[in-house]
Structure 1
Amino acid sequence: MKNLISRVLTGLAATALTITTIVATATPARAVVDTYTPHGGPAISFTGADIDFTIIEAGQRFTCAQVDMFGTIRDAGVSRPFGATATAWDQLVYDDCTNPIFGETTFDPIGVWVFAITGPEVGSVSPATLTDVRLFLQAADCSFNIAGDVSGNFDDVTGVFTPTGSTLTIADDPAGFVCSLLGFAQGQSISVSGSWLISGLTITNP
C-alpha cells in the first residue's frame, strides 16, 4: 500500500511539474505576439496616387491625384505594443483634388497623423491603421472638417499600405449653400480607396 501511495504521489508531482513548465513557457509566447518593432528611417515618406474620399450618404467622390505625407519613425528598432505609434506624419502634400460638381477641391491637413501596426505579421503583411486623420475640405461654396481613422494592410516587402476600412466622418456642420443642396451633413461616413507607398519601413514581431 505504501508503495502504491508513493507511486501515485510521484505521478501527481510529475504532472504538476509538466503543467508548471507549460505555463512558464507559454507566457513569453503571448508577449511575443502582442508586440512589434518598426525598422528604418528616421525620415520616411508616405506617397499616394489616385486617392478617393467618398461621402457615402451624399454619394459624392473627391479624387486626389497625389496625397503624400512626410514624417519620422518613432524610436526605430524599439519593440512596442500593437496599436502604439510607429510613424508620425506632420507634413502633407496634395495635388489635383477634384469633384465632378465642385471641380477643384482643397484638403488642408490638421495636426499630426500617426501610423501603427495593430496585429501580428502574416508573411510580409501586417494589419495597420492611419489614426488622428484630420482634414479641412473646401470646394466652391462648401466646407467642412473630416476626422477619423483609416485601417488597412501594410506589406513591408512591397511597402504598400492598402485601406480596407474607414471611420472618417464629416466632423462638423458643413458650411455653404451648396453643401446643404447636395445633402452633406455632420456625421456622414467617408470611405477611402487607393493605396500609399511607405518607403523604408519594415516590421518584425516582436
Structure 2
Amino acid sequence: MDITDQLTRAAENGDAAAVASLLSAGAEVDARNSARRTALELAVSAGQAEIVRLLLAAGADPCRPAGDYEELTPLLLAAMLPHAEVVKALLAAGASLGAQGLVEYVPLAVAATSGKQGYPHIVVLFLEHGADINAVMRGRTALELAIGGGKVQMARWLLRRGAKPTEYALSLACHRARQSPEAAGRYAAVINALHAARLVE
C-alpha cells in the first residue's frame, strides 16, 4: 500500500496520529488514492471532524473536486450528512456556499433535502455564513425541493426562517396533498403555512 492509500485509509478511520505522521513523512495532502479519492473527501464522508481540521490545516483544498466522477465538492458531501463540526471546519477554511461541482448543486438546498427530513442544523450553519435561503438549484428553491421530496417538516421550518412562499411551492404542496388521504394530512400544515406566509409578504 503506497503512502497516499495509507493516508486516505487513516483519514477515513479517524486516526489523527497516523495522518499527522504520514503528512510529515511526505504524503501529499490532496493526492488521490488508488480509488481516486482524497483524504479530505473520505474524512468528510466519514464524519471525521478532527481529521478534516487537520487536513485543512495542512493545506487541503476545501474546494477540490470530490466524488466518483469528481462531480461534487467536500462541502456538498458534508451537506448530505448530519455532521455539523465537519461543515464548520470547511466553512472556516473558505468553502464556497454558492452553486458548485459539475452538477452545480447548492449546499443549502442539498442539506435541506438530504436524510429523512433534511438537516435543519446544517442549514442554520449555512444561513449564519450568509447563504441565501431562496437560492435556486436545478430551477427550484430549497423550499420547493423539500415539498417535492416529501420533507414537510423541513418545508415548514424553511418557511419559519423566511423562505419565499412561491406560487409553485403552493401548487406543488396542493398536488402532493391530493395524492392520498395520508398525504393530505401530512401536507395540510405546509399548505396552511404557505397561505399564511403569502398573506404577510
Q: TM-score, normalised by structure 1?
A: 0.24
Structure with more strand by fraction: 1
Structure with more helix by fraction: 2
* Structure with greater contact order relative to length (CA < 8 Å, sep ≥ 6): 1
Q: TM-score, normalised by structure 2?
A: 0.25
Greater Rg, structure 1 or structure 2?
1
